[in-house]
């Protein structure tokens, strides 16, 4: 469903249920061109907000509970602001509770609210539907109760909600991209300073295509947190703040103290960080061939060194490598399922789509889904 329709639907549903005029917020999901698992190493990433996201209708309530209706799921959740804890298997509820809880930690006073939200980001696709949801609520609540938070402060609230209520020790990329996205641009984000440079990218005869494996393997969260821990341990051993500060030469000095698996993970992060910088240079030089190669290299590292890929993702990237119409492809996001991002020749898009869908179905007995993306504006109010 497209954005305007989504906005209409939540508005109508809100008015029907709560009989008042809501504030409307749209908060997008994101893609990431390159720089995977580098954000929590204080490194570089290259995300962009997209035209898919969460539409939220929200307004103050006079009663002494808050009510949130997840329109897609047809689920209503009612809670008291003074009794907030993470819920086991709480799903979407935890992101909202997390945002409210983290606002309270900041000493912000809010009163009850009613909300209706709906989204068109495929879940589990690695396109950050959770960051979009967190950002929509923190943005909406900030506006509703005039809390005076800056966007920089809001994304930290969203990130902490994810850490403490969803249990994923994520970096800042998703929340940043969703909040600060700029139309037609990707953002080269320095995750240490949390500042970015927008790049209006012209892929010329090529375009981005996402292919969703439609799988999300179990243990993705645990595996994510484990990798973060490995990176932090290696940094400690190296005596640096984060792997962002390390080179391969540094890493080699402690190679004997690390397992081969941990060595490869840390090396991956160091190399991926360098790839992001090379990617930015290649954009400046209009060097599409290099952009594509860097994507393939990134995938290889994620799969063989960092070990966050899966059979379905590897299959899609191998098919992309074998196609003369695709100049680069890699898995995108946290991994263990979700999408690949592909740079495909415009004239060959249909042929590649058909071919890869057919092959995927033959191999796994299931469909993959294919999306175009439009680089879009970050979280904003709809007037």
The residues that touch ligand GLA, with contacts defined as CB under 6 A, are 36-37, 39-40, 170-171, 173-174, 333-334
Distance (Å, whole) CA 205 – CA 322 = 19
Judged by beta carbon, residue 223 or residue 382, the one nearer ligand GLA is 223
Distance (Å, whole) CA 170 – CA 221 = 10
Judged by beta carbon, residue 119 or residue 333, the one nearer ligand GLA is 333
Q: What is the pairing mode between strands 113-119 and 23-32?
A: unpaired
Least separation in angstroms between residue 31's CB and ligand GLA is 11
Contact 276, 34 (CB under 8 A): yes
Q: What is the largest CA-CA distance in the chain?
A: 67
Q: What is the phi/psi pair of residue 206, to 5°?
A: -115, 160
- Concerning whether 174 is annotated as a catalytic residue, the answer is yes
Contact 161, 101 (CB under 8 A): yes
Judged by beta carbon, residue 39 or residue 42, the one nearer ligand GLA is 39
Q: What is the pairing mode between strands 75-79 and 113-119?
A: unpaired
Contact 93, 32 (CB under 8 A): no
Judged by beta carbon, residue 35 or residue 140, the one nearer ligand GLA is 35
Judged by beta carbon, residue 173 or residue 339, the one nearer ligand GLA is 173
Contact 170, 179 (CB under 8 A): no
Active-site pick, 39, 174, 314, 325: 174
Query: Distance of CA 131 to CAs 142, 170, 230, 331, Å?
Result: 16, 10, 24, 19
Least separation in angstroms between residue 140's CB and ligand GLA is 21
> Any idea which residues carry the catalytic annotation?
174
């Amino acid at each position: 469903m497209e954005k305007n329709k989504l906005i209409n639907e939540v508005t109508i549903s809100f008015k029907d249920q709560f009989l008042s005029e809501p504030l409307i917020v749209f908060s997008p999901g994101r893609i990431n061109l390159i720089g995977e698992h580098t954000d929590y190493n204080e490194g570089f990433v290259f995300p962009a907000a997209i035209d898919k996201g969460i539409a939220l209708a929200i307004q103050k309530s006079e009663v002494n509970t808050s009510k949130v209706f997840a329109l897609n799921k047809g689920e209503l959740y009612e809670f008291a602001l003074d009794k907030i804890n993470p819920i086991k298997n709480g799903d979407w509820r935890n992101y909202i509770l997390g945002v409210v809880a983290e606002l309270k930690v900041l000493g912000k006073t809010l009163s009850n609210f009613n909300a209706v939200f709906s989204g068109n980001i495929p879940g589990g696709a690695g396109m950050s539907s959770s960051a979009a949801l967190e950002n929509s609520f923190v943005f909406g609540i900030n506006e509703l109760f005039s809390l005076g938070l800056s966007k920089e402060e809001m994304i930290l609230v969203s990130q902490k909600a994810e850490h403490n209520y969803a249990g994923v020790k994520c970096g800042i990329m998703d929340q940043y991209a969703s909040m600060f996205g700029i139309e037609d641009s990707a953002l080269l984000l320095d995750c240490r300073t949390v500042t970015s440079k927008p790049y209006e990218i012209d892929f010329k005869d090529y375009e981005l295509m996402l292919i969703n494996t439609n799988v999300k393997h179990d243990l993705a969260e645990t595996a994510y947190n484990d990798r973060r821990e490995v990176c932090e341990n290696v940094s400690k051993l190296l005596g640096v703040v984060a792997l962002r500060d390390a080179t391969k030469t540094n890493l080699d000095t402690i190679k004997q103290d690390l397992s081969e698996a941990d060595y490869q993970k840390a090396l991956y992060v160091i190399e991926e960080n360098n790839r992001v910088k090379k990617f930015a240079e290649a954009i400046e030089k209009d060097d599409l061939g290099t952009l594509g190669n860097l994507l393939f290299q990134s995938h290889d590292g994620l799969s063989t060194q960092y070990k966050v890929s899966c059979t379905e993702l590897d299959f899609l990237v191998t098919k992309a490598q074998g196609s003369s119409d695709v100049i680069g492809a890699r898995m995108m996001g946290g991994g263990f399922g979700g999408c690949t991002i592909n740079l495909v020749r415009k004239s060959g898009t249909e042929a590649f789509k058909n071919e890869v869908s057919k092959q995927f179905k033959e191999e796994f007995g299931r469909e993959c889904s294919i999306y175009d993306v439009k680089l879009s504006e970050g979280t904003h109010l709809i007037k």
